[in-house]
Structure 1
Amino acid sequence: MTTWRPDVLGDGYEQLELPLGTDPDGEGEISATLVRYQPTSTELPDRAVLYVHGFTDYFFQQHLAEHFAARGYRFFALDLRKCGRSRAPGHTPHFVTDLSYYDLELDEALRVVRSEVGGGVLLAAHSTGGLVLPLWLDRLGRRPGGTAAAGIRGLVLNSPWFDLQGPSYLRNVGTALIDLVGRIAPRAMIPLPKPDTYGRSLQRDGWRYDLDWKPLTGFPIRFGWLRAVRRGHAALHRGLDIGVPSLILRSGASRSAPRYDSTIDTVDAVLDVRQIARWAGCLGDRTTIVPIGGARHDVFLSTPGPLAEAFRELDLWLAWLDGAAEADESAGSGSAADASADNTVSVLQRTMGEHA
């Protein structure tokens, strides 16, 4: 039985617990939490967005849900096991030793969303979620019917984590060490600096969230978790086939700093955007990557100018996705190839004209 209850975000937001059974990493019973935004409406759209957060994160970006709703999408977000709403006493925050473990809650969340909506589902993710979702889609594509049978229309990635930032030796010798220690002592913490610069930047700009679920200095990084991430990176770098078009939004520049200053408001202070650009082509299918000048690591938590630009680029891509679907349907109805091509051109011209 599906029982939704009020969510911490208030009016219009509800949550549903997704029981997952016993944790394969040995931390007892676990669950994930599906959140939906359902404003008062006499008619609900027949398509949806399913959003997945990153590390030291959970869903709280109400303006993102409301933006998609205004464009004709039902909005759902998933707090993964041991994250945000889904974390229980005794759970190590965000800890998994294999990213494929997330398939369980992703499959179940997709099932619930499709049962409520009936139409296609657009996936969206931020940071580590932007690695988790492509890996899941690649595995999903090998099942009977692939992503098409699953009803997935496209993928929007917001500053996805595609490689390990820092000096090159960390990606070579460091990865070998991570692999070794991650197998022997998976919960051992990696001794790393814990700057609060990114968190301070978000708070100074007025973004508010639960500091127990998203602490300013982040949760500790553990060898077993980072080993799982590096194995995910390796799979991505070998090339994936996600089966759907994707949009990747990222900042125009990266910078780290030991303490906050105003320049942190206009850069990705977490990931190296050059790595995002380098590995974007490994997703397969059609990929559109757009740098947003002045954006933060979470592009949709940027200052007003870059945030508006990010939403504009998102809307352009959504319009293109709708146009491409129209063209595909026209081609599949028996139209001649040249008529299909003319239809595609007219759709794109109309799309660009609307956003000029």
Structure 2
Amino acid sequence: MTNETSFSVSEITDRTQWQPDVLGAGYEQRTIPLGPDPDGEGEAVATLVRYTPDTGAAATESAVLYVHGFTDYFFQQHLAEHLHGRGHRFYALDLRKCGRSLRDGQTPHYVTDLARYDAELNEALRIVKEETGGTVLLVAHSTGGLIVPLWLNRLNKKIGTAAAGITGLVLNSPWFDLQGPSYYRTVGTPIIHALGRFRSMFELPGGEIRTYGDSLHHTAAGEWDYNLDWKPLSGFPVRLGWLRAIRSGHAQLHKGLDVGVPSLILRSRLTTFTRKYGPAADVADVVLDVRQIQRWAGCIGDRTNIVPIDGARHDVFLSSAEPRAKAFAELDHWLDWLAIYLRKSESPEAGA
């Protein structure tokens, strides 16, 4: 009996590498091996997730690569489905030791140098471009909104961001500076650098605060469902070695970067720091100081559009219905502008 079904080598490889994802139908994941962890916690991996619905397939000439923040992983299906509806193939990356990529014996989100993430970002970009054959829009949230511009700055210096196939950058409440009293950023930073070098695993106090988690998660006051092992309500502990890496990244950002592509920065209009959940936590950023986002936004280089969203949470796409709709409307408006801008930039008249 003859089997009339045949597959190419690439199709067989693709089916082996991509496996069903925890988000269910339409979502698949692929492990990216990274070798021994430079911070000494076994073998490091990252995880690339893709959205592949059976119907209404997106155009293949444009893709999105999403990068999460601290105490986070990709679960924002509504964002994937919205961008897919606009004609983008959607991918998301769980960085090493985060979410799907966390392995036994590893410290969640712990790195001592943000440049370590270049390995998975480069490989994720390669896979996305190989699969789609087109350009890539980057979307990053919070700590991811610091990691990705630093990576793009290095990439732009090496080969050029445009040459790498990247067309734009969307930052959702990026972490551009250390929140809190000013002495955290003055006398506190040298202390962080000194102690972080020798006591890198020291856990800072304050991990019991769960205001943001209670605002989001459906078992508390919020509407969103996600894995509390990967995104605990009170957040993962902050360790000195990791915070030292963050402050080094902030210093690089403040000196000025060049990401090489236009950027949209979305943020809440208001910050409210509170140790316990209340209604005010649902209409403000309770994690970062939005004034710092505004202050340092110009440091990422190229064209930058900054849009405050009334009533938005820290993750503007996890806000309540009205500000969330506003955030998506602003995203759509900017993407429409970006498409026109790119067409004009590529036209013969642009170089005349």
TM-score range, shorter chain: over 0.9
Question: Structure 1 115/336 Cα, relative in aligned 2: closer, same or farther at 3 Å?
Answer: closer
Contact residue 91 and residue 128 of structure 2 kept, 8 A:
yes
2:273 alignment partner, one of 256, 259, 264: 256
| Structure 1 residue identity aligned to 2:272 | R
1:142 to 2:157 alignment: yes
SS at match of 1:254: coil
1:208 alignment partner, one of 225, 230, 249: 225
| Structure 2 residue identity aligned to 1:4 | W
More displaced 10-residue stretch of structure 1: 314-323 or 186-195: 186-195
Task: Quote the offset at 1:205 in angstroms.
Answer: 2.6
Q: Which aligned runs of 4 or more in structure 1 are off by greater than 2 angstroms?
A: 41-44, 333-337
| Structure 2 residue identity aligned to 1:200 | D
Determine the C-alpha separation between the residues in 2 that align with 1:246 and 1:7: 30
Question: Structure 1 195/336 Cα, relative in aligned 2: closer, same or farther at 3 Å?
Answer: closer
Q: 1:305: which partner in 2?
A: 322
| Structure 2 residue identity aligned to 1:296 | R
Question: Structure 1 68/172 Cα, relative in aligned 2: closer, same or farther at 3 Å?
Answer: same
| Structure 1 residue identity aligned to 2:29 | Q
Give the gaps of 5 or more residues in structure 1.
338-356
Q: 1:189: which partner in 2?
A: 203
SS at match of 1:142: helix
Determine the C-alpha separation between the residues in 2 that align with 1:285 and 1:37: 30
Task: Quote the offset at 1:192 in angstroms.
Answer: 2.4
SS at match of 1:242: coil
SS at match of 2:280: helix
Determine the C-alpha separation between the residues in 2 that align with 1:44 and 1:291: 29
Equivalent runs, 1:268-279 vs 2, <5 Å: 268-279=285-296
Task: Quote the offset at 1:257 in angstroms.
Answer: 1.0
1:88 to 2:103 alignment: yes
Q: 1:23: which partner in 2?
A: 37
Percent pairwise identity:
64
Q: 1:350: which partner in 2?
A: none
| Structure 2 residue identity aligned to 1:308 | A
Determine the C-alpha separation between the residues in 2 that align with 1:289 and 1:336: 28
Determine the C-alpha separation between the residues in 1 that align with 2:48 and 2:207: 32
Determine the C-alpha separation between the residues in 1 that align with 2:284 and 2:229: 25
Q: 1:39: which partner in 2?
A: 53
SS at match of 2:317: helix
Contact residue 58 and residue 85 of structure 2 kept, 8 A:
no
Q: 1:131: which partner in 2?
A: 146
Determine the C-alpha separation between the residues in 2 that align with 1:243 and 1:273: 24
| Structure 2 residue identity aligned to 1:175 | T
| Structure 1 residue identity aligned to 2:161 | T
Task: Quote the offset at 1:334 in angstroms.
Answer: 4.7
SS at match of 1:149: coil
Task: Quote the offset at 1:190 in angstroms.
Answer: 1.2
Task: Quote the offset at 1:195 in angstroms.
Answer: 1.0
Deviations 1:84-126 (A, max 9, x none): 0000100000000000000000000000000001110000000
| Structure 1 residue identity aligned to 2:241 | G
SS at match of 1:141: helix
Question: Structure 1 335/135 Cα, relative in aligned 2: closer, same or farther at 3 Å?
Answer: closer
Determine the C-alpha separation between the residues in 1 that align with 2:47 and 2:18: 10
SS at match of 2:196: helix
| Structure 2 residue identity aligned to 1:198 | Y
Question: Structure 1 258/44 Cα, relative in aligned 2: closer, same or farther at 3 Å?
Answer: closer
Give the gaps of 5 or more residues in structure 2.
1-12
Q: 2:94: which partner in 1?
A: 79
Determine the C-alpha separation between the residues in 1 that align with 2:274 and 2:305: 30
Please tell me the root mean square deviation across aligned C-alpha atoms, in Å: 1.2
| Structure 1 residue identity aligned to 2:146 | L
Task: Quote the offset at 1:336 in angstroms.
Answer: 8.6
Count of matched residue pairs:
334
Determine the C-alpha separation between the residues in 1 that align with 2:104 and 2:216: 27
Q: 1:349: which partner in 2?
A: none
Determine the C-alpha separation between the residues in 1 that align with 2:342 and 2:116: 32
Equivalent runs, 1:236-251 vs 2, <5 Å: 236-251=253-268
Q: 1:109: which partner in 2?
A: 124
Determine the C-alpha separation between the residues in 2 that align with 1:335 and 1:30: 45
**TM-score using structure 2 length:** 0.93
Task: Quote the offset at 1:41 in angstroms.
Answer: 3.6
1:60 to 2:75 alignment: yes
Task: Quote the offset at 1:42 in angstroms.
Answer: 7.1
Deviations 1:154-208 (A, max 9, x none): 0000000000001110101111111011100111111225211111111223111
| Structure 2 residue identity aligned to 1:87 | L
Q: 1:329: which partner in 2?
A: 346
SS at match of 1:228: helix
| Structure 2 residue identity aligned to 1:191 | P
| Structure 2 residue identity aligned to 1:231 | S
Q: 1:221: which partner in 2?
A: 238
Determine the C-alpha separation between the residues in 1 that align with 2:207 and 2:40: 28
Task: Quote the offset at 1:335 in angstroms.
Answer: 7.1
SS at match of 1:280: helix
